[in-house]
Amino acid sequence: CCSVNSPEARAFLEQCDCDIFFVFGTGLISPATYRIPSRGSINAHGGLLPNYRGLDTNLWAAYLGRPEDMRITIHKVEKHFDTGAVLASAELPIVRDLNLVSIRYYTTLALLELARNVLTKIQDGHVVGIQQKGDGKYFGPLPFVKKLIANYKIKNFVANRSAGDC
């Protein structure tokens, strides 16, 4: 298969006549591609921006001892990873069975709901992007052993939350 940035993919996407591209879990998208739709492109990001750019960001937050930083964000796509204006952000729902195995599931569910709200606001003309301040850090994949440590910290964080929060 070809890259979304290839001339063939761009030609196909230009024929779609879309108002907006919605991306999630993709590699870097070139300006020639993300600028195709009339309203630009937005990304669903499982992390707090600008502090946690890149991959496994909620796991990194837990691993680094800041599970309260586990968030979800919808932002505009720009030239560099996770640098576009933030359209919405919310806490990652903290549920009783949140752990290494379930975090992607709950992140995806929460992002889909947040994206639905953002897309509705875009359609109604009621969304304003807030430019990110600060450089933040780009995180790569969290190594497996560190994922186990993050899992332990997530479980402790959830256990220490009151029953009413979960």
How much is the pLDDT for 162?
55
Could you read off the pLDDT of 72-101 as tens digits, one per residue? 999 999 999 999 999 999 999 999 999 999
Could you read off the pLDDT of 26-69 as tens digits, one per residue? 889 999 999 999 999 999 999 999 999 999 999 999 999 999 99
Alpha-helical (H) ranges within the chain are: 7-15, 31-34, 57-63, 103-124, 144-160
How much is the pLDDT for 135?
82
10 contacts: CB under 8 Å, gap ≥ 6: 32, 33, 36
Which DSSP state fits 152? H
pTM of the model: 0.91
How much is the pLDDT for 64?
98
Length, in residues, of the chain: 166
